[in-house]
Amino acid sequence: MFINLDLKDLHPILNSKTIFFVLLICLLLLCFIMNKKTSREVYLLDFACYKPPTSQKRSREVMMKEAIQTGYFSEEILDFMKKTLERSGIGDSTYVAEIFFEKRYNPSMKDARREVEMTVFGAVDMLLAKTGVRCEDIGILIVNCCIYNTVPSLCSIIVNRYKFRENIITYNLVGMGCSAGLLAIGLAEQLLQVHNNSYALIISTESITENFYLGEDRSKFLINCLFRVGGAAILLSNRQSDHKTSKYQFLHAIHTNTSSSDRSYNCILREEDTAGIIGITINKDLLASAISTIKPNLITVGRLILPIREKLAYQVTYITRKLLPLLNTKQYVPSYGNAVDHFLPHVGGKAVLDALQKALGFSDEDMEASRMTLYRYGNTSSSSVWYELAYVEAKGRVKKGDRVWHIAFGSGFKCNSVIWRAMKTVDRDDVNPWTDEIDEFPVRLMDCGPSHVYFEPPTK
């Protein structure tokens, strides 16, 4: 019957349901294609870490001698400093700012700017040389430096130095602590979703020249003991042409901020002591604030990267504990080591690394990069996670397909995680800050007891 129909008979059908469904399918395909285009892949083309000159190295023993010679500190504070250095996990080859080689500590704006320029320009010069990317092709610049703030901004200083184009998008992140570097990565990734065919340059650094505390408040003395000179430059791209040449692909960024809590907000605070001397207070609430901020970050990371068997084991024990409390079932702790190949946490200090290892179930080998970075370079603030990745690369441990987990935390209180996937097996290169000494690591670390991490103001 249908065979005998001519085109006139089919005309009503073609003009109604058939055309409607064809148009609907085309519309759905168009929406799918548009959504596919708006979710651009972002690549980490390469990165570079600044390695200060040998002349800026300072051992713990020399630092103690110089602290005594200044006459600034009481016997009680000097004893506290000595114990903190011994238990910090920091070695004898870290770098300090040039101002600390002077007989008297009297920093100027010029001194502080010199430290930052040496670090930033050194890292960027190496990165541009490694990648071959031209300055005029960089469309986004994000700089994070917590304490040091200047006019013109650090972004302007860098734009002026490298003569970036006039329509470059710039962001200057200040006062955001050690987690700001990974926050900057998340911001850059979002901008690269909007700006097609672009490069984003991220610079993470800190300045300690003007931030040495000279008072007697122990709660403000951690900066003097742990923080060192360092910085890193990172280049991200959303260009498809960089797919084969990039080191890593961006997968996830997870940000947690508990600044709405007064406890979290006040646990790390830059303020004056009773004598009017400015320092950064780290009080007894740090532990509780860190836990309350890191925990939800870890939960979100787990949902994104943990294998199904780990998620199921957690859910089963959770439900069992709720429904059958008399069984006293222990809550299953997921093994994050089964989800990532390289765990690289911010090296805030030995106690911080100890706590993370215990809580997440990572092995000593998993923690090697972070402990060696703390030992060799100290706490370089937001750039520390890049020295860790450089360590893993120098060891030849990054294989194609490996997943890398960067996590950092700091004042506010904030916690940021970024997950990467290696696009290729990464070989050691001459620009890596570990290259000329990587065979000497890992070193054996002595256990000198618990670190001084949580402080209360001295009794009066």
Angle 385-386-391 (CA atoms, 0-180°, nearest 5)? 100
- Residue from 86, 146, 134, 148 nearest 375 by CA: 86
Q: CA separation (Å) from 338 to 297, 306, 311, 343, 397? A: 18, 7, 12, 11, 16
Q: pLDDT tens string for the chain (460 positions)?
A: 444 444 454 455 445 656 656 566 767 777 665 555 457 999 999 999 999 999 999 999 999 999 999 888 999 999 999 999 999 999 999 999 999 998 889 999 999 999 999 999 999 999 999 999 999 999 999 999 999 989 999 999 999 999 999 999 999 999 999 999 999 999 999 999 999 999 999 999 999 999 999 999 999 998 899 999 999 999 999 999 999 999 999 999 999 999 999 999 999 999 999 999 999 999 888 888 988 999 999 999 999 999 999 888 888 888 888 888 888 888 787 888 889 999 999 998 898 899 889 888 899 999 999 999 999 999 999 999 999 999 999 999 999 999 999 999 999 999 999 999 999 999 888 999 999 999 999 999 876 555 554 444 444 3
DSSP 437: T
For position 317, what pLDDT does the model report?
87
| pLDDT at site 16 | 60
The answer to whether the Cα torsion of 67, 71, 75, 76 is positive or negative is negative
For residues 256 and 183, the answer to whether their CB atoms sit within 8 Å is: no
Q: What is the pLDDT of residue 217?
A: 93
Residue 1 tokens read as 């019957």
Q: CB under 8 Å to 14, separation ≥6 — which residues?
A: none
- Cα 359 from Cα 341, distance rounded (Å): 17
Residue 166 tokens read as 């006039």
The alpha carbon of 103 is separated from its chain's Cα centroid by a whole number of angstroms, namely: 35
43-255+341-440: CATH number:
3.40.47.10
Q: Tell me the two tokens of residue 92.
A: 């004898």
Degrees (nearest 5) of the Cα angle 24, 25, 27? 65
Per-position DSSP letters for 222-268, written without gaps between them? HHHHHB---EEEEEEE--GGGTTT-SEEEEEEEEEE-TTSHHHHHSE
Query: Among candidates 84, 96, 344, which has minimal Cα distance to 227?
Result: 96
Residue 454: predicted pLDDT:
44
| Euclidean distance between CA atoms 273 and 44, whole angstroms | 43
Residues 6+ apart with CB under 8 A from 156: 170
pLDDT at position 33:
56
State the DSSP string of 78-145.
HHHHHHHHHTS---S-EE--GGGGSSS----HHHHHHHHHHHHHHHHHHHHHHH---GGGEEEEEEEE
Find the largest Cα–Cα distance for the chain. Answer: 109
Read off the amino acid at residue 348: G
What pLDDT score was predicted for residue 327?
81
pLDDT of residue 24: 67
- The CA distance from 229 to 389, in Å, is 18
Whether 264 and 429 have beta carbons less than 8 Å apart is answered as: no
Round to whole Å and give the CA distance between 394 and 426: 9
